[in-house]
Structure 1
Amino acid sequence: MKNIKKILLIMAMTMALGTSAFAASGFEFLFQLAGGAGVVIPTKETKDLGIKGQVSADADISAQIGYMFQVKDGFGISVLGELGYAWDLYNMGYGSTTVDSSTTASGTTYSAEAGMWINQYYHSFKIGLLPKFNIGVGRKGAIAIGIGGGVKIPISGRSSMTYTFAVENASTREDVKTENDIALKRQDITDMFSPSVIGYMKVTFDYYLFFTDNIGMNFGLYLGGDFGLKQKEVKIGGDSFDIGLQLGFRFGPKA
């Protein structure tokens, strides 16, 4: 973490010297939106309880800032720091949490199967590094392949757990179903989970369409993996694998 902070500080100081100088020497800036979906991969301790991984989802708004080194005409290597906001959703569970009701002259009864559903989402500050290999394509295009990672620091979130019991003809809904919904702040997250940050890795594939020599749009695809939060001691939780799309604005040399 200290090394990442030093690198980002150097980038920020360099930016202060003037954008025009950067443009001539390979300064690169990318602002983008990204989002996708995938699957949760539960820990062994979670699987032992019969809990299965369900759907995961993520979305972020980020800025990538750094420098592109031109190795030769049509090929360059970018070293980029990544900062932004991230939203992540994780679902785990088993069975069905649906409650059936039946109404007769004597009243309403409730029935359900055994099931459990865990839903968690987090709002996080994202920081990482993303080196890219840039290849020029024609006069107005380029492709870039990035491999990197970093951490997402959850600032707030929410955790909900729903349980249903294998009961038939219960007199109240509460006899067959219980729900627990908790809003989480940063202190709650550090108290409940270890580690209290989400590590991530990703591979990106981008196509840059240039309007001028240094300004263009990017259209891309990413494959990402999160190392999710785990509850202290019991290690209940999971990681995730996601695939998604990204769209952004880029300033910097083509390659």
Structure 2
Amino acid sequence: MKNIKKILLITAMTMALGTSAFAASGFEFILNVPFGMNIAFPNRETKDLGLEKNYGGFDAGVEAQIGYMFQVKEGFGISILAELGYIWDWYNYSSESATATGGGGWTLDGSYHSLKLGLLPKFNIGVGKGTIALGIGGGVKIPAVANLRYGYGVWNADLNREDGIDTVTLKRQDIVDLFSPALIGYMKFTFDYYLFFTDKIGMNFGFYLGGSFGPKVRDLKLGGNAFDFGLQLGFRFGPKA
């Protein structure tokens, strides 16, 4: 009986210590609105057509990060988060600036409406009433709709654009048939600051840096990659570090 009591006492103490050590562990949910820019880098086949210049593109979307934060010690925790969302990306390549009277050039650009799936581990550091979170991860964007433009555009004497550019809208099956791969891979680094209003509810202010690996036209291999950067604002539910 004494041995049983000792075992029960040791078990209870172990559970109590474990509960105390991981008191801040728990479910984590973040809803973000990222918005920013990208700089595209055409591949060799695209450059061979003279489409070597890029004047910046844009990204915007909404994403949910869902997972669990494990508190390693007071003031420091590690989050394992799945990322799910919608993202709009616009990339462009040009052969000439076309910013002056009579200017013009060939252009190739595409915008993609995609489902975003990824994994984003984060390191959480408690700072005063808030938390700093550093994340690094990646995944894929699955384009559902793409709008492509290609052609020669010029500016007239009044600096009004006179386009000889064709536009085509592609659905998912069209994208699968035309591109290889029919996905956009991505990697990113995030820096976030969580400002808490309660023990588990706060606002998220941050920025991101990353890279996108764009789809290539299957036969011509036209395409490229991009460097992405921007801000993100959102809502966070979960324990402090």
Normalising by the smaller structure, the TM-score range is 0.7 to 0.9
Contact 2:189 2:208 in 1 (8 A): yes
Q: How does 1:149-164 map to 2 (within 5 A)?
A: 149-163=138-152
Structure 1 segments of 4 or more deviating over 6 A?
Answer: none
C-alpha distance 177-131 of structure 1, shift in aligned 2 (>3 A) = closer
Q: How does 1:75-86 map to 2 (within 5 A)?
A: 75-86=76-87
Superposed CA offset, 1:130-187 (max 9, x none): 000000001x11100000000000000200112159xxxxxxxxxx963211011111
Structure 1 unaligned spans of 5+: 1-22, 101-111, 166-175
Residue identity opposite 1:163 in structure 2: Y
Partner of 2:107: 117
Contact 1:131 1:146 in 2 (8 A): yes
Partner of 1:189: 175
Q: Helix, strand or coil: the match of 1:188?
A: helix
Alignment size in residue pairs: 211
Cα distance, 1:238 vs structure 2: 1.2
Root-mean-square deviation over aligned CA pairs:
2.0
Normalising by structure 2, what TM-score? Answer: 0.82
* CA–CA distance in structure 2, aligned partners of residues 135 and 177 of structure 1: 52
| Residue 213 of structure 2 corresponds to residue 223 of structure 1 | no
Residue identity opposite 2:111 in structure 1: Y
| Residue 22 of structure 2 corresponds to residue 36 of structure 1 | no
Q: Helix, strand or coil: the match of 1:187?
A: helix
Partner of 1:46: 46
Normalising by structure 1, what TM-score? Answer: 0.78
Partner of 1:95: 96
Cα distance, 1:64 vs structure 2: 0.3
One of 223, 232, 237 as aligned partner of 1:246: 232
Structure 2 unaligned spans of 5+: 1-22, 155-161
Residue identity opposite 1:59 in structure 2: A
Residue identity opposite 2:212 in structure 1: D
| Residue 135 of structure 2 corresponds to residue 146 of structure 1 | yes
Residue identity opposite 1:62 in structure 2: E
Residue identity opposite 1:39 in structure 2: I
- The answer to which of 87-96 and 112-121 deviates more is 112-121
Cα distance, 1:24 vs structure 2: 6.8
Contact 1:97 1:163 in 2 (8 A): no
Partner of 1:179: 165
C-alpha distance 49-157 of structure 1, shift in aligned 2 (>3 A) = same
